[in-house]
Amino acid sequence: LRSISVKSTKIDDDGLTSLLAYSWSHLLQRIDCSHCEKITDLGLGVIATRCTKSLQTLKLARCAGLSDDGIILLARLCHRLRHVDVRRVKNLTDRGARSLVARSYVYDKYSSVKKDISLSLSLFRTFCSINEPTHLSQIHPGTTNWKL
């Protein structure tokens, strides 16, 4: 088993802990937790510790219970992680985003002036100072979608 999706379910931190208690969890490369509003930094910590050596893609779009602390832990522990989708994670600030950018992850963050959750110019400059501009494959208006 290399991939699991709990997208749009009512799974919480306890459910995620139970799911990742199986012996195969350390082999997971892709996890989709998008739209799981009950997952918090505690659940993200479970993912980070159980999937440390294998996780490459993690989708967390619209996970309202996450914050910088969980994202920073994830960036610190999951060295193979290359794609993190954090669109519309409202509690994510530049502090958490910077930890992803510093690791040169693909970073997706929904940004909209109307929603007032856009990333700061200083974070974008940080990203550009770490990565050559030629590494940016696309930047869409309304969505900051940086790809290496």
For residue range 100-132, list pLDDT tens digits in order.
Answer: 877 655 444 433 222 223 455 556 555 565 554
| Structure confidence by residue, pLDDT tens digits, 3-32 | 999 999 999 999 999 999 999 999 999 999
Q: 77: closest CA among 40, 50, 110?
A: 50
62: left (phi over 0), alpha (psi -120 to 50) or beta: left
